Every structure is written in structure tokens, then in C-alpha cells.
């Protein structure tokens, strides 16, 4: 038995003493404690009162090694607001309000500036990476998505295709797991699915009769590509899209709904209804949950397979502004990060929904995008023109019980 007033540090000391007794060369480790899958964040007795756990029973406290705080690594300066970020093992791709997309090395060295859009770049995505050439996508407010080929050795980019068809700014793109298709969501309430395979042919496009030919020529950059399918059903702007698997697309919209679509047939499969505008949605294949950030302070977790409409599993509340961006950890089924208009990036564990694990308060202005790579790199960009990188050691080894 332990004193009821003990906190995590006291418990941690206790465990360390026990471990040191068994193992002579034990080093001090800080632990975190879970009671029925909830992190202990206050004195034991208060927690048990809040969770209605009787003090008469034997309470099982699980201990795990405390997650290390994310270590700041780089701060990459941009010329303008950073609208989007996606990183791979080697490079970071950012979309910027100065109408360009940029490629950076992990060390923060600017490698390439991809210029070609006539308006703000709203989203970027990697399609394919080889040692020689990479394919990448950039979506912009100028209503197009550009498919670029980046020759790594020569360090040159070339616009392969100009995906035209949206009638509003393209706010979000997502590449499917086969890396042959991508989906885009736009302000014009449509989702469009495109092929991501570069070809030499140009798709025919119906010309608007009153459109001056001359003007069109100047806009053209790369071969025109038309969508494979158009998914319409949202009544407001689509703010975020993603692929759940090879056949299923998920979209979040300003009309307060998250919709799941069948990418093959283009049918609407189900709708999750919230009561606020959704800014961002993310899906974790590990825990099979959707997390959404909306224009209130909450991050909500959804079960996309649930049939009965809106089922919020959990609300994570600590932000004080709109949650602009959320991203699940690719390696850990309980963790996600979120960026908000209150200038703070928060690292969450779903087992502690009242308080985040860590607050990353480096930004001086609105946070607009966050990303989490498989290598354990946390990225966040915002309206202060800075992209912050954090190294987060993925200590998934839960010891003891």
C-alpha cells in the first residue's frame, strides 16, 4: 500500500527503489502511472475521487517509463506564413503563403524552392521518393494542384501535370497508400480524385467558351490533368481530406460533417456529424480512430466504423483557440499532436484527456500545420514564418505492470 496523497514523483521514487534493490546497476528512471488506462496527473486520492474508485479495493497502478519531452532541433525560417508541412525520412516539404513550396533537408538547409503557383500554396504532399527523383504535389488557392518531379541529383524540379477542375481554392490533398492516386478537397465543396502517375498525354478539357485563349496559355504549367472522379455531397468548403485505406476517402468540411466515401464508386458511405466547423482530420491505422480539430477548443476522437451517426469517443480539451491541425503519431496508438490558433502545439496521449503530455510553446503566432514523421520528428509551422522541428524519442517499450 502507498500513501493516498502520493503523487507521480513519489510513486516514481518508490518504483526506482524497488528496482534498485533487485538490480544493482539500475539507473534512475522517471515513470508515469496509469490507473484503469488513465494517466495519473494529480495526487492519488484526488484522482480516485474523480474517477469514483473505491479506496477499499486493491487498485492496480500500471507504470510506464515517462515519455521524454520532445527535444527542439531546428527552427527553419520562411519568407511567409507556412500553410502546410509534410516530412519524410530525408526531406521536409512545406507549403508557403509566398506561392511556393519548399524542400528542406532535415538539418534545416533549404534545398529547393518549387515556384509555379499564382496563389498561396495551401497544401503539399509527397507522392513517391526514389534516390534519383521524387514526385510531389502542391495544392494552391489558384484552384490547381501541381504534380512536380524533383530530380534529386540535379536538384531540379519540373511541373509534370497541372490538375485543373476545382472552382475554388484547393485546401487539402492526400495521396493514397498505393501512391497512384490522390484526392483533393476544395473550397468549392467538391472532392476530386486524380491519378498521381505521370504520363506524357494531356487530358482534354472542356473549354469555357468565353475564356480568352491567350490568358489560358499563360497559366498553363505542365500538362493538364482532369479528375478521375468527383465526389460531391458537402454543402460547405472541404477543409481536410485523407485516405483511410486504398478504397476509402474521408473528408472534413465546414458544413460540420466528416464524410466517408468509397473512392472506387464515388458513393457516400457514412457521415459523422459534429456541431462545429472542422478544420482538420487525421486517422490512425493503429487505433483506428479519427481525430478532428474544429473551430472550438476541442479535439474529438471518432470511430469511423460506427454506424449511428455522431459518436464522439473522447474530447481532448486544453487549447484555447481553434484547433487548426491534428496529426496522429504513426508509431504510437495513443499519441497525437495538435496545433492551434493559440500559438501552442500540444502533444497528447489519449489516456490523459484532461491535460496534454507536453505543450510546445515556441510559436509566436498562429500554428497552421503540424506533422509527425515515422522517424519521430514533430514539425509545426505557423503564421510566424517559422517551422519548428522536435525530436521525440518513440519510447513505446512499456515495461512492468
Partner 1 sequence: LPPPPFLSSWHPGVRLLEMVKVKPLSAPLQDIRNTVGNIPMEWYQDFPHIGYNLDGKKIYKPIRNKDELDMFLEKMENPDYWRTVQDKMTGADIKLTDEQVELVQRLQKGQFGDVNFDPYEPAVDFFTHEVMIHPVTNRPADKRSFIPSLIEKEKVSKLVHAIKMGWIKPRKPKDDTPTYYDLWAHEDPNSILGRHKMHVPAPKMKLPGHEESYNPPPEYLLSEEEKLAWEQQEPAERKLNFVPQQFRCLRAVPAYPRFIHERFERCLDLYLCPRQRKMRVNVDPEDLIPKLPKPRDLQPFPTTQALVYHGHSSLVRCLSISPSGQWLVSGSDDGTVRFWEVCTARCMKTLPAGGVVKSVAWNPNPTICLVAICVEQSVLLVNPCLGDKLLYGATDQLLESYKAPEEERVQPVQWVTATTEEHGKGIRLVIQHSKALKQVTWHGKGDYFASVVSDNSNMQVLIHQTSKRWSQNPFRKSKGLVQCVLFHPIRPYFFVATQRYVRVYNLLKQELTKKLMTNCKWVSSMAIHPGGDNIICGSYDSKLAWFDLDLSTRPYQLLRHHKKALRSVAFHKRYPLFASGSDDGTVIVCHGMVYNDLLQNPLLVPVKVLKGHALTLDLGVLDVLFHPTQPWVFSSGADSTIRLYT
Q: Which residues of the chain form contacts with partner 1 (CB under 8 A)? A: 81, 97, 120, 142-143, 167-169, 187-188, 208, 210-212, 215, 236-237, 254, 275, 277, 279, 295-296, 321-322, 341, 366, 368, 383
* Cell numbers that stand for 190 in this block: 467538391
**Least distance from C-beta 254 to partner 1, angstroms?**
7
Distance CA 257, CA 30 (A): 42
**Least distance from C-beta 244 to partner 1, angstroms?**
25
Nearer to partner 1, 82 or 92 (CB): 82
**Least distance from C-beta 369 to partner 1, angstroms?**
11
Phi, psi at residue 4, to the nearest 5°?
-70, -25
What's the half-sphere exposure (Cβ side, CA atoms, 13 Å) at 139?
33
- Give, in order, the Cα–Cα distances in Å from 267 to each of 136, 177, 227, 314: 28, 20, 16, 28
Q: Where are the alpha helices (DSSP H) in 144-275?
A: 213-219
**Least distance from C-beta 253 to partner 1, angstroms?**
11
| C-beta pairs of 247-256 under 8 Å, 24+ apart in sequence | 249/174, 249/183, 249/191, 249/193, 250/281, 250/283, 250/290, 250/304, 251/183, 251/185, 251/191, 251/281, 252/278, 252/279, 252/280, 252/281, 252/292, 253/185, 253/189, 253/278, 254/278
335-340 and 345-349: which strand pairing?
antiparallel
CA-wise closest residue to 18 among 61, 69, 56, 53: 61
Nearer to partner 1, 118 or 180 (CB): 118
Bridge partners, residue 349, by sequence: 335
Nearer to partner 1, 27 or 215 (CB): 215
Distance CA 401, CA 399 (A): 7
Nearer to partner 1, 120 or 326 (CB): 120
* Cell numbers that stand for 91 in this block: 526531406
Question: ∠ CA(160), CA(241), CA(318), 5° rounding?
Answer: 130
Q: Are 182 and 127 in contact (CB under 8 A)?
A: yes
Nearer to partner 1, 279 or 352 (CB): 279
Neighbours of 1 (CB within 10 A): 5
**Least distance from C-beta 205 to partner 1, angstroms?**
13
156-164 and 223-225: which strand pairing?
parallel
Quick one: DSSP state of residue 205? -
**Least distance from C-beta 234 to partner 1, angstroms?**
12
Nearer to partner 1, 98 or 262 (CB): 98
Distance CA 229, CA 144 (A): 16
Nearer to partner 1, 241 or 377 (CB): 241
Quick one: DSSP state of residue 355? S
Nearer to partner 1, 234 or 351 (CB): 234
Nearer to partner 1, 117 or 332 (CB): 117
**Least distance from C-beta 381 to partner 1, angstroms?**
12
**Least distance from C-beta 353 to partner 1, angstroms?**
21
Nearer to partner 1, 33 or 187 (CB): 187
**Least distance from C-beta 385 to partner 1, angstroms?**
12
**Least distance from C-beta 296 to partner 1, angstroms?**
7
Amino acid at each position: 500500500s502507498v500513501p493516498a496523497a502520493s503523487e507521480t514523483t513519489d510513486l516514481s521514487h518508490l518504483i526506482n527503489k524497488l528496482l534498485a534493490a533487485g538490480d544493482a546497476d539500475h539507473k534512475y528512471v522517471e515513470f508515469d502511472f496509469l490507473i484503469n488506462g488513465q494517466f495519473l496527473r494529480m495526487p492519488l486520492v484526488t484522482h480516485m475521487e474523480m474517477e469514483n474508485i473505491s479506496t477499499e479495493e486493491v487498485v492496480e497502478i500500471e507504470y510506464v517509463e515517462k515519455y521524454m519531452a520532445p527535444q527542439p532541433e531546428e527552427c527553419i525560417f520562411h519568407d511567409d506564413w507556412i500553410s502546410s508541412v509534410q516530412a519524410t525520412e530525408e526531406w521536409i516539404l512545406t507549403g508557403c503563403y509566398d506561392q511556393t513550396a519548399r524542400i528542406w533537408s532535415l538539418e534545416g538547409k533549404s534545398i529547393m524552392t518549387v515556384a509555379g503557383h499564382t496563389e498561396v500554396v495551401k497544401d503539399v504532399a509527397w507522392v513517391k521518393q526514389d534516390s534519383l527523383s521524387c514526385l510531389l504535389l502542391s495544392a494552391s488557392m489558384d484552384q490547381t494542384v501541381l504534380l512536380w518531379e524533383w530530380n534529386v541529383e540535379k536538384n531540379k524540379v519540373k511541373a509534370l501535370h497541372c490538375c485543373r477542375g476545382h472552382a475554388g481554392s484547393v485546401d487539402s490533398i492526400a495521396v493514397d497508400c498505393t501512391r497512384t492516386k490522390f484526392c483533393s478537397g476544395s473550397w468549392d465543396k467538391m472532392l476530386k480524385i486524380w491519378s498521381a502517375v505521370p504520363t506524357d498525354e494531356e487530358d482534354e478539357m472542356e473549354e469555357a467558351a468565353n475564356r480568352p485563349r491567350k490568358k489560358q496559355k499563360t497559366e498553363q504549367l505542365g500538362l493538364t490533368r482532369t479528375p478521375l472522379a468527383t465526389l460531391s455531397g458537402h454543402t460547405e468548403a472541404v477543409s481536410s481530406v485523407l485516405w483511410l485505406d486504398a478504397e476509402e476517402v474521408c473528408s472534413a468540411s465546414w458544413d460540420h460533417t466528416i464524410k466517408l466515401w468509397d473512392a472506387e464508386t464515388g458513393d457516400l458511405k457514412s457521415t459523422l456529424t459534429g456541431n462545429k466547423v472542422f478544420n482538420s482530420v487525421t486517422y490512425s491505422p493503429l487505433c483506428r480512430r479519427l481525430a478532428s480539430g474544429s473551430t472550438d477548443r476541442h479535439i474529438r476522437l471518432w470511430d469511423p466504423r460506427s454506424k449511428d451517426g455522431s459518436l464522439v469517443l473522447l474530447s481532448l480539451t486544453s487549447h484555447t483557440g481553434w484547433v487548426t491541425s491534428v496529426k496522429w503519431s504513426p508509431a504510437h496508438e495513443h499519441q497525437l499532436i495538435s496545433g492551434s490558433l493559440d500559438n501552442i502545439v500540444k502533444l497528447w496521449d489519449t489516456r490523459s484527456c484532461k491535460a496534454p503530455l507536453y505543450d510546445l510553446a515556441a510559436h509566436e503566432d498562429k500554428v497552421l500545420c503540424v506533422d509527425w514523421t515515422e522517424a519521430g520528428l514533430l514539425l509545426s509551422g505557423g503564421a510566424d514564418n517559422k517551422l519548428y522541428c522536435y525530436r521525440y524519442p518513440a519510447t513505446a517499450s512499456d515495461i512492468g505492470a
